[in-house]
Structure 1
Amino acid sequence: MRHQVLLSAIAFALLSTAFPAPEPQPEPQYANENENLEARSADEGQPGVISSDKFLRRAFHASAIAGNFLYVDGGQFSYINNGTPQYKFTTSTLSLDLSKDWTNATAVFNTISKIPGVPNLNFGSLWYHEAETTLYSGFAGESPSYDRGSDPGPPSLWALKLDGTGQGTWSETVDSKASTLNDIHRVTSTLQSYGPNNAWVLGGASYSEPPMSGMIKFDMNAKQFSNISSDGTGQPRSRGRMQYVPNFGPGGVHLAFGGDLKNNVLADFSIVMVWDPTASKWYNQSTTGAAPARRVDFCLAGAPSNEQSYEIFVYGGSNGNLGTSAVPFDTIHILTLPAFHWTQVSYAPGNPRHAMTCHGVGESQILVVGGADTNPPDPNSNVNAVARSKMTSKDTLTQGLGIFDLSTFEWADHYTASPAPYHQNDAIKTYYAGQQSQADIKNLTTEVSALMNQKSFTPSANTTSSSSPAPSTSHTGAIAGGVVGGVALIALLALLAWFFYRRRQRQKQNYDYTKAQGAPLEEMYKYGGPGDIRGEGERPQDYKDPNGHYVGELHGKDERRGPVELTDQTAEGPGVVEAGTGTVKRKPERLELPA
């Protein structure tokens, strides 16, 4: 065993010589958190961009991930100016770069100006069509709550053509009078999601019509809206959320959660509605585990794991009331597919929020954007006072940005552009390792089970393989074979190390044979310089040129510093000394020593 360790150490030393360790890379550096972020903002004059020291809250907006950017549109924000809270609604679109690391104190939003006519809405819509690199907005939503009495008018659709730099150009795509919008009225507080080519809008409230129970489809290629049958959707609902899951079913699935069914009767999270866009059918699926309490205005996001599960993050919300009763809704629950099992994350509540958005932004990272205060000081009955009370306190998340890690079940204040692969949290791993998960999967409805059996997962680009160590056993033959194989491997590694070492040394040589070969010793002295060949070695003789200048001692190891290497003059005849060895290699051209 000691011989094997010794051989391994020798091989490691040789390989270290042949392949020097790379220069250590610096740790990712975030921007200086003490910088004046107000000066760093792209356009502080545009509503919606506020320095972190002045920022209070952002809420009721819509947001989407497109390429390397987060885009935020509509909603309200608040900030401090001379000690007094200011309440504004956003009149520009914001973008945040996700191709670089940042903390929530150093993140910088850029602004995209809107042309006249582009609406600014609360609870609006923002759908991304990757094939066109275009965001669509304006269909759903209501006027900002600071101006509650204003009706935003009939629905229309506006397109933001993205340029890949966090900027873009707005234009109208579907006019409010277009035939495709006939018999479709504006809705707000809808459940929405979108896939590669279609957006889906479920339910919602209305200014002038009863709550909607059906669903609207928008075909992004044809630019057409259509009403979808309400079969399977049950009662009308609003203020819930819907999540697109691309990894199951022939065309992905859309899952609807929570919301207000009617008159503050809230939907049960133990039942999840599953939309199959390929079959155009809804299915109701029961769940197991610790489901969230009934709520509205929560946020939803998801991510696929390397274990081929999909975890959906449900955070915050309210029961429709403000004040201390909202504190219990400061919770996080995770629904894992394909088992449809809930896991509650354990942490101390105390900062409830609602009307925020959430997104999976790479591997295990969930980005939370904004949120109104669900536990403000008791407001009076005035509508405007209530609207402002939810935006008066300073958000506990700097700039309203937080990162939740699905692997660790922990909050972070920084975003990583190149994160580690997402592997399930231990609680979810333990669940799938047990018999209960198999029973839960077996008990899925026939239709949902068929969808879950059609999996499509792409391994993470950062995935590294891992395996558990095998049990230790004693087999003498196997050990002997392993030792022999190990010795052979070490010998091979040593040979490779020697080969590359010699190759590296030859590459370092830069002899000027044109000048050195056949030149008098005085010329060689010019290009070499005294003392170019040094070390402890074989020949103690000194060599001098005819003028008595000291050239150097030829030794076994040389450290050359001149631009051209010296030629060895020995009693055995001239030749060129091979770098690093002191070995004389003779050349056909022989130099004659001066008489």
Structure 2
Amino acid sequence: MTTRQVLGVFLALAAVTLQQPADLLKDFCRIFGHQTAVIDRTLYIDGGFVNYNPLSQHPLNDTNTALLYADVDIINYDGMPTVYDNLTKPADAPDVNGGILWSDSVNKMLYLYGGEFSQGSPANLSIWTYDALYHQWSPMKPDATQKNIQRASYGAGVALQDRAAGFYYGGWLSNASVPAWGSLPPMALSGLLEYDMLQNSWTNSTGPDTVGRAEGVMVYIPSSEGMLVYFGGVKTPYSNGTVVGQPMDEILLYDISGSKWYTQKATGQVPEQRRRFCAGVTWAQDYSSYNIYFYGGLSIAEGPGFDDVYILTLPSFRWIKWYPVAPGPGYPHHSMSCTVIDGAQMIVMGGTYPNSTDCDVPKVIGMHNMYLGKQNPQNAIWARFRPNITTYQVPTEIISVIGGSPTGGATTKTPANGFDDRDLEIFFQRVYTAPTRQPTRAIPTSTEPPSTSAKSTPVGAIVGGVVGGVCGVSAAAVILYCCWRRKKSAPTEAEEEMKESELPELDAFAAGPEQPSRRSELHGSLLVELEGDTAMKMSPSSHPILSDDAISPATSQRRSATSTFS
């Protein structure tokens, strides 16, 4: 080994030491398969997969080990809630994709159920809670009713605040979610789980039939004594396990008080069958219509999926295509989350794009905002988030189908071919007024979101760590160099003639290659001002996607072995 080679080893080691670990937010490209929930206007984002920039250099899906959050009242310069990554999540808390966060907004608690482990063997089922007051994770002690409950993934779930209950329908059992599953193929469940957050107890009920279903969505509406509405996804109606699409005109409803399932046929602009889309629900001020908005999704068979928005309005059970209004390739993606804020806006976050290598708006961490009532000066569907919009107005596209006005007054309240069960007609004539629930623990009169400075690493510690690391590498290189010199009997003439000026400057080399500057821009589109609000007038598909060509290293040390859904 020559002197140049020895110094080369030293400089390379020093350069590696000086490389900063990648940052989940600064080097963000995509997030998908995650779960979200809201407490006190703070949006929490847990688990799923993350990709880093550029995808060509980092093609694998990294497991998101962080609990991110965004206060919807803190808006950044790009018009979306600012996302923070400074909360502690213990190493033994599950990092899963395809699970659900049930929120108890009264007691300020999150409950994590279900999901798949992207690496290693799945752990035994346990419900983990996150205390939003004290920012602590902890597992719940298993109740006797949990004995026959297993961890499902990519099912459909919703939390009910008046009952402090979480519901979960269908989902997959597989070797990624159930210990000792072995080589058995994945199995879709047909039952409905109910979790009592206060009693830590489970109820496992039958579904509408014995058919297993997964990858659809379920929402709650305050009709009758409370109803669950499910649609989309896939099902396994055959004994050989063949997977087919759940018809989008077949809507499944569950009357909570009567513990009974119903099926209703929907008409109108029925969407194509799909899975792994996301949805949210809101309703007119007079409860004359309940309007479910859903976005995107993955094709049942091979294909890139969808970049569109549909509305299912109840009780008329009419489908309305809302977006896009013009043809175009769009940016089909799936495995995103939809979170309705104040019934008026819906944050569509993340997703993965099968036919594109573009990153998903890195400046705002993959957030897109949908105005459910288009309540902005430009009457736009996609526009910056506005915290002061706290009431819902029915948009003209729904009014043109069911009548009424922005505040309600729908005149069409029955399906085109009538109700498939007369009970449903009676249910939709009732409005459920939820009782006020009191917390079961002491709650401060005013709660604050997680501090944006919490868990920040002191600059001195960073500098000290870097300097210490360089010193350690330097010492190792010096020892290596001395050993080599001792073993070498005599230098060659060429080596004697090598001058100090021929060696590279240490500081310049150790700093690593210069990183290109970060830039973000709309795909061939414009940003226009909406009387102080920025609306995103999008590309040919009118979709709010930004490209970002910044280079960034992969960050997670716990990397998944394969890119499962991309």
TM superposition score category, shorter chain reference: 0.5 to 0.7
1:173 alignment counterpart = 140
What SS is found at the alignment partner of 1:318? strand
Q: Does 1:417 align with 2:387?
A: yes
Cα drift, residue 420 of structure 1: 6.1
What SS is found at the alignment partner of 1:97? strand
2:366 alignment counterpart = 400
Show CA shifts across 1:504-563 (max 9, x none): xxxxxxxxxxxxxxxxxxxxxxxxxxxxxxxxxxxxxxxxxxxxxxxxxxxxxxxxxxxx
2:131 alignment counterpart = 161
Q: Does 1:360 align with 2:361?
A: no
1:240 alignment counterpart = 216
2:65 alignment counterpart = 91
Show CA shifts across 1:245-272 (max 9, x none): 2x2122x211111111023301011011
**What does 1:422-571 align with in structure 2 at a 5 Å threshold?**
422-433=392-403, 437-440=412-415, 443-444=418-419, 445-456=421-432
What SS is found at the alignment partner of 1:160? strand
Letter in structure 2 aligned against 1:261: K
What SS is found at the alignment partner of 1:418? coil
**What does 1:210-359 align with in structure 2 at a 5 Å threshold?**
210-230=187-207, 232-245=208-221, 247-250=222-225, 252-262=226-236, 263-308=242-287, 309-321=289-301, 325-327=303-305, 329-347=306-324, 348-349=327-328, 350-359=330-339
Letter in structure 2 aligned against 1:184: I
Show CA shifts across 1:108-162 (max 9, x none): 324321123210001012001123210001x311012xx3xx3312211011111
Letter in structure 1 aligned against 2:141: V
Show CA shifts across 1:437-470 (max 9, x none): 2552782231222221112589xxxxxxxxxxxx
1:552 alignment counterpart = none
Identity of aligned residues (%): 24
1:568 alignment counterpart = none
What SS is found at the alignment partner of 1:227? strand
Distance 1:346 1:118 in 2: 39
Letter in structure 2 aligned against 1:270: D
Cα drift, residue 242 of structure 1: 0.9
Letter in structure 2 aligned against 1:452: F
Counterpart selection for 1:109 from 61, 84, 108:
84
TM-score, with length taken from structure 2: 0.63
Distance 1:108 1:438 in 2: 41
Q: Does 1:71 align with 2:71?
A: no
1:441–1:224 CA distance, 2 compared to 1 (3 A)? farther
Cα drift, residue 436 of structure 1: 8.3
Distance 1:274 1:449 in 2: 12
Distance 2:321 2:270 in 1: 8
Q: Which runs of 5 or more structure 2 residues have no equivalent in the other structure?
A: 1-19, 175-180, 237-241, 405-409, 435-566
Distance 2:79 2:96 in 1: 25
Cα drift, residue 396 of structure 1: 5.4
Letter in structure 1 aligned against 2:131: K
Provide runs of 4+ in structure 1 moved above 4 Å: 45-48
Maintained 8 Å contact 1:302/1:359: no
Distance 1:257 1:95 in 2: 29
Counterpart selection for 1:100 from 74, 77, 84:
74
Maintained 8 Å contact 2:171/2:213: yes
Show CA shifts across 1:212-234 (max 9, x none): 2112111111100121123x244
Distance 2:263 2:295 in 1: 22
Maintained 8 Å contact 1:74/1:121: yes
Q: Does 1:189 align with 2:150?
A: no
Q: Does 1:200 align with 2:180?
A: no
Maintained 8 Å contact 1:142/1:151: no
Cα drift, residue 307 of structure 1: 4.9
TM-score, with length taken from structure 1: 0.60
Cα drift, residue 169 of structure 1: 0.9
Maintained 8 Å contact 2:315/2:414: no
Cα drift, residue 365 of structure 1: 0.9
Letter in structure 2 aligned against 1:326: P
Tell me which of the two structures has the higher relative contact order, counting C-alpha pairs closer than 8 angstroms and 6 or more residues apart: 2
Counterpart selection for 2:355 from 357, 372, 375:
375
2:30 alignment counterpart = 57
1:442–1:265 CA distance, 2 compared to 1 (3 A)? closer
Cα drift, residue 46 of structure 1: 9.7
Letter in structure 1 aligned against 2:254: W
Cα drift, residue 63 of structure 1: 0.6
What SS is found at the alignment partner of 2:195? strand
Distance 1:91 1:215 in 2: 29
What SS is found at the alignment partner of 1:331? strand
Letter in structure 2 aligned against 1:162: A
Q: Does 1:140 align with 2:114?
A: yes
Letter in structure 2 aligned against 1:171: S
Distance 1:98 1:106 in 2: 5
1:281–1:85 CA distance, 2 compared to 1 (3 A)? same
What SS is found at the alignment partner of 2:389? coil
Cα drift, residue 236 of structure 1: 0.4
1:449–1:82 CA distance, 2 compared to 1 (3 A)? closer
Letter in structure 1 aligned against 2:189: M
What SS is found at the alignment partner of 2:204? strand
Q: Does 1:151 align with 2:129?
A: no
1:118–1:77 CA distance, 2 compared to 1 (3 A)? same
Show CA shifts across 1:10-40 (max 9, x none): xxxxxxxxxxxxxxxxxxxxxxxxxxxxxxx
Aligned residues: 381
What SS is found at the alignment partner of 2:188? coil
Maintained 8 Å contact 2:293/2:312: yes
1:436–1:270 CA distance, 2 compared to 1 (3 A)? farther
* RMSD (Å) for aligned C-alpha atoms: 2.7
Distance 1:226 1:235 in 2: 19
Letter in structure 2 aligned against 1:373: Y
Cα drift, residue 305 of structure 1: 2.6
Cα drift, residue 88 of structure 1: 2.2
Maintained 8 Å contact 2:35/2:98: yes
Q: Between Structure 1 and Structure 2, which shows a larger proportion of helix residues?
A: 1
Which of the pair has more CA radius of gyration? Answer: 1
Counterpart selection for 2:106 from 128, 131, 151:
131
